[in-house]
Amino acid sequence: MTFLCKKTTVMPLAVLAATLALGAPQAGAQGLFDMLFGGGVRHAPKDEFPPPPKPRKVKPSVSAEGGGARISSPSYYTYKADRLVRIDFKPMMATPQPTATPQDAAFTPTATSNAFRDAVASLGDYELFAEADIAKALVAYYSANPDFIWVSGTGANSRAQDAVRVLGEAATYGLTPTDYTVDVPGAPDATADSSARSKQLMRFEMALSARVLRYVSDAQRGRVDPNRMTGYYDFPAKPLDMEGVLKTLAHTQEVRTYLESRHPQNAEYQALRVELESLQASAENEIVVDPKLLLKPGESSPELPKLMSLIARNLDDEMGGTYGETLARLGTSEAYVPELVPVIKAVQKRAGMKDDGVIGPRTVASLAGVSKADRIQKVQVALEELRWLPSDLGSPRVFINQPAFTASYIDNGEEKLKTRAVIGRTTNQTAFFYDQIKQVDFHPYWGVPQSIIVNEMLPRLRSDPGYLDRAGYEVTDARGKRIPSSSIDWGSYGSKIPYSVRQQPSEANALGELKILFPNKHAIYMHDTPQKAFFQRDMRALSHGCVRLQDPRGMAAAVLGTSVDYVADKLKNGHSTENVTRKIPVYVAYFTAWPNMSGNVEYFDDVYGRDTKLMQALDATESVRSPAS
């Protein structure tokens, strides 16, 4: 019996032609592997290697003999958005008149300073609500810099006009414009009371600053905190100097440029924006194909021309050059003739499916099965998720997209390698995080995580304590001394096992001939597998959490900056480890809408139902913000 990355098994033996700058993000996971015998994990953290997600965390239940022990797993949480707070303007009103040295040494009094100080008192009864960090930053900034940013004379200035326009265009980024709405004062009335006008302008100043800070925060960090959605998400906090944002806006006339620069500045984000704009301007799907269509080469169907129309409409340069003439000549044919089979195979391959040329429900769904509304939602979700990642994704980088079941090595804007991948099954989900590749292990040992020992091995060990010895596993105690499995009273242990287990290198090793490490608290890595047949399946959520690669040698060569022949030579020499000397970020990502290297957005099934969870979190955020004034 072979144990895979997370549980047991019983198997034997160009996006927008962008060039991204070299760089690597901060590590997304804070914990490191407790390395054992060439890369195994001595003790897996409590929230690893998940069985099916539970609605709430469940403590391990252990019988007197430890018979029912299990290690708990990550959960999905009911997202609770932070409540808004009423901004307390009293500290601003208590701020003394600036003398020769104002509170903020960078503050330079202007002609409007006195008008600002005179108007501050009008904020005493103003009810303006904002996020707590925004409220704090706004009061701190204006206490140190008592002057207008958005008002000049008796009206809103050009800075304000630019800011309001940008906030009004939030929908083009997949954001909600009403989250940033501000009432702009109209032209001054010559007969109106000056104090009333001053009060109106001061409140406009505060409201616009609060909404601009919300916009910048949403653009740079996202509207929800992903780590509060589920234990499967693991992202470092993105720092944001909100006082610094206001300070910058107070000293620039390039307000639009600055606000737009707060969004991710990568080609993928821009491609998704273009797709969103195109979808919002398009009509609902006018071509409806039978979702249950099953058509084999040599057969006929009136549904076939509909599929050919969809393919022709979405041709990229590569597909157009290869199959454009064929589609033009046979696009209306109801007969699935041999000349059309390569077209369908190419479509299937591009979608990450088995390219067998048989048109079935999955092929139909990849071309016509996602409605306009569904696509818009997937793009909006993708834009939000991209805001959790570094603005510069780095080059070179490794990008694993779980719903696409693919892993790519991208360098200088080119996809140098793309390979099929197997990810965690729905009951053993792969986490969503990013980190940095550290090393490649050749003919690796597999250090079995505690969760697998407890959840999968222990039940059998209680009745068959020697099976680890027979199956090629080594058991060691806390001092590293090897202990025969058959000599241990496994029945006396529950959720805490004081032993480590590792599988020796072999053809039957669960990790195959190599693994690629990027140490993280989830104990997830890329590796080879003896189960090659899995890569022929369309739906490849089949592992126990780690990412299996169809071309592990190619990926190892890419990250090491060498050749596949070099990797093959290393494998001839038994177990060894080689460090990756370059900074190569790796994204273990989850995007159901993602642009290919030609800039065309492709859509994938929501394998784990995470899009739905994110939409629920966004709805919770909107419900908190909606009553804000």
- Write the CA distances from 2 to 8, 344, 468, 504, integer angstroms: 7, 37, 10, 11
Indicate whether 431 belongs to any domain.
Answer: yes
| Strand runs labelled E in 383-517 | 397-401, 406-411, 414-424, 432-436, 439-442, 446-448, 473-476, 500-503, 514-517
235 or 470, which is more confident?
235
Regarding whether 130 and 43 lie in a shared domain, the answer is no
The answer to whether 163 and 208 are in contact (CB under 8 A) is yes
Regarding whether 110 and 31 lie in a shared domain, the answer is no
Least confidently predicted of 67-71, 227-231, 305-309, 486-490: 67-71
Helical segments of 407-464, H only: 450-452, 458-463
Residue 198, H or E segment = helix 194-221
| Matching residue, tokens 């009103």 | 93
pLDDT of residue 321: 84
Residue 338 has pLDDT above 50, yes or no: yes
pLDDT confidence tier of residue 458, bands split at 50, 70 and 90: confident
DSSP helix/strand/coil, 556: helix
Regarding whether 509 and 454 lie in a shared domain, the answer is yes
The predicted-structure confidence for 291-322, as pLDDT tens digits, reads as follows 889 999 999 999 999 999 988 887 877 788 88
Range of the domain at 38: 2-77+388-591
Mean pLDDT of the chain: 85
Regarding whether 204 and 57 lie in a shared domain, the answer is no
Indicate whether 367 belongs to any domain.
Answer: no
The predicted-structure confidence for 358-384, as pLDDT tens digits, reads as follows 999 888 888 876 778 889 999 999 999
Indicate whether 602 belongs to any domain.
Answer: no
Regarding whether 73 and 40 lie in a shared domain, the answer is yes
Q: Which candidate, 394, 20, 391, places its Cα nearest to that of 216?
A: 391
Q: What is the mean pLDDT of residues 518-539?
A: 93
pLDDT of residue 104: 58
Indicate whether 348 belongs to any domain.
Answer: no
pLDDT of residue 5: 55
Indicate whether 440 belongs to any domain.
Answer: yes
Least confidently predicted of 166-175, 178-187, 238-247, 452-461: 452-461
Q: What are phi and psi of 419, to 5 degrees?
A: -130, 150
Token pair in block for residue 313: 């409409």
34 CB neighbour count, 10 Å cutoff? 15
Indicate whether 541 belongs to any domain.
Answer: yes
Count of domains for the chain: 2
Indicate whether 359 belongs to any domain.
Answer: no
The answer to whether 589 and 421 are in contact (CB under 8 A) is no
Q: Which candidate, 34, 10, 2, 25, places its Cα nearest to that of 519?
A: 34
Distance of alpha carbon 379 from alpha carbon 537, whole angstroms: 26
Q: What is the mean pLDDT of residues 232-240?
A: 96
Report pTM.
0.78
Q: What is the mean pLDDT of residues 392-399?
A: 97
Regarding whether 114 and 45 lie in a shared domain, the answer is no
pLDDT confidence tier of residue 44, bands split at 50, 70 and 90: very low
Q: Which candidate, 220, 178, 550, places its Cα nearest to that of 384?
A: 220
Indicate whether 599 belongs to any domain.
Answer: no
Distance of alpha carbon 569 from alpha carbon 579, whole angstroms: 16
Residue 110 has pLDDT above 70, yes or no: no
Q: For the residues of 98-140, what is the DSSP string, one character each?
A: P-SS-SSTT----TTHHHHHHHHGGGTT---EE-HHHHHHHHH
The answer to whether 89 and 124 are in contact (CB under 8 A) is yes
CATH no. for residue 436? 2.40.440.10
Regarding whether 107 and 254 lie in a shared domain, the answer is yes
Residue 2 has pLDDT above 50, yes or no: no
Last residue of a domain, one of 240, 264, 288: 264
DSSP helix/strand/coil, 168: helix
Q: What is the mean pLDDT of residues 34-56?
A: 30
Distance of alpha carbon 482 from alpha carbon 437, whole angstroms: 31
pLDDT of residue 266: 97
The predicted-structure confidence for 204-213, as pLDDT tens digits, reads as follows 999 999 999 9
Regarding whether 91 and 65 lie in a shared domain, the answer is no
Looking at the chain, the whole-number percentage of residues with pLDDT higher than 90 is 61
Looking at the chain, the whole-number percentage of residues with pLDDT higher than 70 is 84
> Which residues, including other chains, have CB under 8 Å from residue 601's CB and lie 6 or more apart?
271, 272, 275, 379, 593, 594, 595
Q: What is the mean pLDDT of residues 126-138?
A: 97
The predicted-structure confidence for 483-493, as pLDDT tens digits, reads as follows 998 989 898 88
Token pair in block for residue 366: 């990849």
In the chain, the amino acid numbered 466 is: G
pLDDT confidence tier of residue 73, bands split at 50, 70 and 90: confident
Last residue of a domain, one of 237, 264, 291: 264
> Which residues are registered as beta bridge partners of 412?
none
> Which residues, including other chains, have CB under 8 Å from residue 65's CB and lie 6 or more apart?
491, 492
Distance of alpha carbon 135 from alpha carbon 213, whole angstroms: 10
Regarding whether 91 and 63 lie in a shared domain, the answer is no
Regarding whether 128 and 43 lie in a shared domain, the answer is no
Q: Which candidate, 166, 207, 201, places its Cα nearest to that of 187?
A: 201
DSSP helix/strand/coil, 514: strand
pLDDT of residue 100: 39
Regarding whether 160 and 39 lie in a shared domain, the answer is no
Regarding whether 185 and 115 lie in a shared domain, the answer is yes
Last residue of a domain, one of 220, 236, 264: 264
Token pair in block for residue 315: 């041709």
